[in-house]
Amino acid sequence: EVPSIQERYQDSFTIGAAVEPYQLEGTQGEILKHHYNSIVAENVMKPINIHPEEKRYDFEEADKVVQFARENNMEVRFHNLVWHSQVPEWFFLDKQGNKMVDETDPKQREKNKQLLLKRLEKHIKTIVKRYRDDVDSWDVVNEVIDEYASNERGLRESPWYQITGTDYIKTAFETTRKYAGEDAKLYINDYNTEVEPKRTYLYNLVVDLLEQGVPIDGVGHQSHIQLGWPSLQEMEDSINMFADLGLDNQITELDVSIYGWPPAPAYPTYDAIPDSIFLTQAQRYDDLFALYERLEDKISNVTFWGIADDHTWLDDRAEEYNDGIGKDAPFVFDPEYNVKPAYWSIMD
Ligand code: G3I
């Protein structure tokens, strides 16, 4: 058995992996227990999975992840309480079943807003009360910034925003704090947090929320990155900016795609990927973990968005842009769960 990643970094930060419940068994389960001391659900805790209908919660799959964490003494990140994607439609329908976003009457719009905020409070209260003793870090809101939005603050114009403005963000953090308690760590999570103008949009929103007394503890940097993008300097600057506000940082969804954007042309199979790419990737991982380690006072957790190269959302991306055939390889374990060059570079 190769040395454990979480032991290697035990003095710096916890090491996590995103999982689907089926991955908790067999070889993958063993890898999880050995190398990671933190876990997050890749999908099963998202609103559409856990709260598909107003009066129906489905905790079965989420419970499996929490149970595994308990048995193996792992930290849990909860992903996520609020998102614009994978959220069921019912949240945004008024009592007559009409879409709240289409309402034009100001009085009715105000009523809709209050109804949506009430639903949000109930959603958060129910979930947080169930898991508060198990969860260490909460992704309270996910991806609320959209650098392509037409408003000047870069706020994502999701139904949440169209119906409540930024009040949903405030309500989400306040409700989570209320039920999770003072020890819980509450995060605003997003991708491309290193890159301008998104970084500044996020920064300005966080400053504004903190000034209003909204209980935010940290920023989750998803870190879906590539071999040469973004730069290490951009990553370091982003972490420092938020640390200077007194906030924690977590690397929440790390994967290092072997492609640029778009991921085309892509290699059709794993075996077709040349060794030279894995060496470049190893260097990238070396640089990344050296950076994280240097900033260890400002980073409390580093989570990979998967375990091994047999299962990654990036394959869907590669397929989408290459007529259905394409393979990515973003992690430090190969599809057979053997270590890759990148594993040795982060262990050095
Ligand atoms: O479970 C259903 C299955 O029943 C159905 O037959 C199948 C048909 O498409 O879909 C399955 O659901 C898929 C789900 O993953 C579980 O595999 C969804 O279609 C698919 O869209 C979903 O993708 C997930 C994606 O979020 C959703 O937007 C990815 O696995 C997950 O890795 C990805 O994770 C996100 C983070 O939450 C937020 N940051 C970005 C990151 C990558 O996109």
Ligand 1 centroid distance, CA of 63 (Å) = 19
Residue 18: the pLDDT is 99
pLDDT band at 187 (very low <50, low <70, confident <90, very high): very high
Residue 120: the pLDDT is 98
Residue 38: the pLDDT is 99
CA 176 to CA 217: how far, in whole Å?
12
Instruction: Give me the mean pLDDT over the 131-153 stretch.
Output: 98
Return all residues near 210 (Cβ < 8 A) that are at least 6 apart: 216, 245
Helices (H), 132-197: 159-164, 167-180
Is 288 within 8 Å of 255 (Cβ atoms)?
Answer: no
CA 142 to CA 47: how far, in whole Å?
11
Does ligand 1 lie within 6 Å of residue 22's CB atom?
no
Residue 317: the pLDDT is 98
The SS3 call for residue 145 is: strand
Does ligand 1 lie within 6 Å of residue 84's CB atom?
no
- Give the model confidence (pLDDT) of 208-262 as tens digits: 999 999 999 999 999 999 999 999 999 999 999 999 999 999 999 999 999 999 9
CA 251 to CA 285: how far, in whole Å?
13
To test the pocket of ligand 1, the residue of 313, 315, 328, 331 to mutate (highest count of ligand atoms within 8 Å of its CB) is 313
Catalytic residue numbers read: 253
Is 257 within 8 Å of 289 (Cβ atoms)?
Answer: no
Residue 217: the pLDDT is 99
Ligand 1 centroid distance, CA of 140 (Å) = 19
Say what the ipTM of the complex is: 0.93
The fraction of the chain above a pLDDT of 70, given in percent, is: 100
Residue 25: the pLDDT is 98
Ligand 1 centroid distance, CA of 346 (Å) = 28
- Give the model confidence (pLDDT) of 284-321 as tens digits: 999 999 999 999 999 999 999 999 999 999 999 999 99
Residue 287: the pLDDT is 98
pTM over 0.90: yes
Does ligand 1 lie within 6 Å of residue 338's CB atom?
no
Q: For the chain, what is the mean pLDDT?
A: 98
Is 12 within 8 Å of 292 (Cβ atoms)?
Answer: yes
pLDDT band at 125 (very low <50, low <70, confident <90, very high): very high
CA 211 to CA 203: how far, in whole Å?
12
Does ligand 1 lie within 6 Å of residue 301's CB atom?
no
pLDDT band at 334 (very low <50, low <70, confident <90, very high): very high
Does ligand 1 lie within 6 Å of residue 204's CB atom?
no
- Give the model confidence (pLDDT) of 9-63 as tens digits: 999 999 999 999 999 999 999 999 999 999 999 999 999 999 999 999 999 999 9
Ligand 1 centroid distance, CA of 76 (Å) = 20
| Atom number of ligand 1 nearest to Cα 79 | 37
Residue 245: the pLDDT is 98
Residue 7: the pLDDT is 98
Residue 114: the pLDDT is 98
- Give the model confidence (pLDDT) of 156-171 as tens digits: 999 999 999 999 999 9
Is 209 within 8 Å of 144 (Cβ atoms)?
Answer: no
Amino acid making up residue 296: E
- Give the model confidence (pLDDT) of 78-119 as tens digits: 999 999 999 999 999 999 999 999 999 999 999 999 999 999
